[in-house]
Chains A and B, each alone.
Chain A
Amino acid sequence: MKPAASVIIFTSLSGLGFGLLAFLGLGMPMVDGLVAFVFYAIAYALSVGGLLASTFHLGHPARAIKAFSQWRTSWLSREGWLAVLALLVMAIYAIGVIFLGVRLSIVGIIGAGLSLATVFSTAMIYTQLRSIPRWNTVWTPLMFMSYSIAGGALLAGQTDLALGLLSIMAAIQIVTWIAGDKAMASSGTTIATATGLKGKSIRAFEPPHTGTNYLLQEFGYQVARKHVAKLRIISIICSAGTPILFLSLPFNHWLALAAVVSHLIGVLTSRWLFFAQAEHTSMLYYGRHTAAAK
Chain B
Amino acid sequence: MTCLPQSTDKKLGLVIDLDTCVGCHACVISCKGWNTENYGEPLGDQNAYGEMPNGAFLNRVHSYEIETDAGFAQLAHFPKSCLHCEDAPCVTVCPTGASFKRTEDGIVLVNESDCMGCGLCAWACPYGAREMDPLAEVMKKCTLCVDRIYNENLPEEDRIPSCVRTCPSGARHFGDFADPNSAVSKLVAERGSIELMPELGTKPVNRYLPPRPKDQISKQQKPTPTVAETADGFFAWLDKTLERLG
Contacts and interface: CB of A to CB of B under 8 A. Distances in A.
Interface of A: 1, 57-64, 66-70, 72-77, 80, 125, 128-132, 187-189, 191, 193-215, 217-219, 280-283, 285-286
| Residue picked from B80, B92, B200, B202, most chain A C-beta under 10 Å | B200
Contact of B75 (A189, A205, A208): A205
A131 B54 contact: no
A148 to B, nearest CB: 21
Nearest to B128: A282
Contact of B2 (A72, A132, A189, A282): A72
Nearest to A188: B199
B28 A199 contact: no
Nearest to B28: A208
A128 B92 CA distance: 10
Interface of B is mostly: loop
Contact of A60 (B65, B68, B117): B117
Given A59-B132, A125-B120, A196 B196 contact: yes
B93 interface: yes
Given A129-B124, A218-B122, A282-B127, A74 B55 contact: no
A70 B64 contact: no
Contacts of A73: 2-3, 91-93
Contacts of A285: 62, 78, 80, 127-128
B190 interface: no
B87 to A, nearest CB: 10
B226 interface: no
B211 interface: yes
A215 B119 CA distance: 11
Query: What 7 A-B pairs have minimum CB-CB distances, sorted nearest first?
Result: A59-B117, A59-B137, A282-B128, A196-B194, A208-B60, A199-B66, A131-B126
Contacts of B94: 70, 74
A202 B66 contact: yes
A76 B208 CA distance: 33
B123 A129 contact: yes
B239 interface: no
Interface of B: 1-3, 18, 25, 28, 52-57, 60-69, 74-76, 78, 80, 89, 91-98, 114-120, 122-128, 131-132, 134, 136-138, 194-202, 208, 210-211
B103 to A, nearest CB: 15
A211 B126 contact: no
B237 to A, nearest CB: 43
Contact of A208 (B62, B125, B136): B62
B54 A58 contact: no
Given A60-B138, A67-B95, A193 B62 contact: no
A72 B93 CA distance: 10
Given A195-B196, A208-B60, A67 B55 contact: no
A67 B96 CA distance: 4
A60 B64 CA distance: 37
Contacts of B116: 58-64, 66-67
A277 to B, nearest CB: 15
A51 to B, nearest CB: 13
Contact of B55 (A60, A76, A132, A213): A213
Contacts of B55: 213
A211 B114 contact: no
Given A70-B94, A215-B128, A189 B65 contact: no
Contacts of A1: 123
B22 to A, nearest CB: 13
B95 A74 contact: yes
Nearest to A212: B54
Contact of A206 (B63, B124, B131, B208): B63
Contacts of A207: 62
B64 A204 contact: yes
B122 A281 contact: no
Nearest to A187: B199
A189 B199 contact: yes
B210 A196 contact: yes
Given A218-B119, A282-B128, 10 more contacts: A57-B119, A69-B95, A70-B94, A70-B97, A73-B2, A130-B89, A132-B123, A189-B199, A195-B76, A203-B64
14 contacts: A60-B137, A63-B96, A67-B116, A70-B97, A73-B2, A130-B201, A131-B123, A131-B200, A187-B199, A196-B210, A206-B63, A208-B57, A215-B131, A285-B127
